[in-house]
Structure 1
C-alpha cells in the first residue's frame, strides 16, 4: 500500500532560507511532489548550506526560474498560499487533482500581479503567520488528508525510519 503518484508541483517566490527549502524538499518527498521551482537569487547563493537530510534534492527536480508563471505544469490549477484578505480558508478548500502551489518569501508576500494569474488563493487560519516550510507541510498534509489515499501497515512500513520497527 502506498500513496498514489500525484500531480503536484511547488513554486517558491524568492525564498531566502536554505533550511526552509530543504524542509520543503523533505515534505515534497513525503507527499509525492513531482518538482519544485523557485525564483530569485537568495536561495541560489545559500543552497549549498541546505539541511535536506533525506537528500530529496537528488530525486525531486529543484529548478531556478525567472518567472513561475512560465513553468506552470500542463493542465495544473495554480493555487497561491498567502495571508491575504478574500482568500479561501484551507480547511474548506478542495484541492485540484493537478496543482501548482505557489508560496511567497519568508520575509514578504506574493505580489498582487502573481495573485492575479492564480486560479485559487488560500490561507491557513492561524493566530500568527507560519514559517515557509511549516506552511508547505500543512498544505501538503491537508491535501493528503482530504484525498482517498491507501492506508495501513504497508504504508507505515514504507514511510517510517529504518530504526523504527515498533508494532502495536
Structure 2
C-alpha cells in the first residue's frame, strides 16, 4: 500500500498569522507541504516572525502556478464555500491530494476550479477563516482515514503543562 500524501495550496494569502495557522494544521494532521502563489504573504512574512519555527518542519514554497502541482495520480481538490460543491461530510478524500484554498478576502480563480477533480465546502453558518478551514479539512481527512487512534499520541502531543487524566 502506498503512503498517503496531502499538501495545501494557498491562493495569494495575505496574513502571516493565517499562514502560520495553516502550517500548524499541516504539522498536526500530517500534510507534507504548503504551497502558495501571489506576493502578499511573501512581503508580509518578512515582518512577521511567528511562522519561522513551524516552517522549519513543514516545507512552504512559493510557486507561480498552483495548477502545475497537479501531477499524475494526485487529485486537485478545491475547498470553497460555493454552489455546486460537495459538502465535506459526504466527501471521500483521495489517497494523494493537493487541497487548494482561496485567499482570506476573495475566492478561488475560476481556472483553478475548472482544473479541479473535486470541489468541497465545509457546511457552516457564515464563513470560517483560512486557517480554521484548513484545520477542519485536514481533521476530516485524518478522521475518515484512521482505523484506530493510539492513546500514546496524547502523551507526545500535549503541552508540557498539561498533566490531566480522565479518572
Q: Same fold (TM over 0.5)?
A: yes
**Distance (Å, rounded) in 2 between the aligned partners of 1:19 and 1:123:** 22
Give the structure 2 partner of residue 19 of structure 1.
17
**Distance (Å, rounded) in 1 between the aligned partners of 2:45 and 2:151:** 36
Give the structure 2 partner of residue 51 of structure 1.
50
Q: Deviations over 1:105-161 (max 9, x none)?
A: 000000111100010000111110110011001111111111125413211112111
**Distance (Å, rounded) in 2 between the aligned partners of 1:66 and 1:73:** 16
Counterparts in 2 of 1:8-157, with a 5 A limit? 8-48=6-46, 49-52=48-51, 55-72=53-70, 75-157=73-155
SS at match of 1:146: helix
Q: Is the 8 A contact 1:19 1:50 kept in 2?
A: no
SS at match of 2:145: coil
CA RMSD of aligned residues (A): 1.5
Aligned length: 163
Structure 2, unaligned stretches of length 5 or more? Answer: none
**Distance (Å, rounded) in 2 between the aligned partners of 1:143 and 1:10:** 13
Structure 1, unaligned stretches of length 5 or more? Answer: none
SS at match of 2:134: helix
Deviation at 1:72, TM superposition (A): 2.7
Range with bigger deviation, 71-80 or 138-147: 71-80
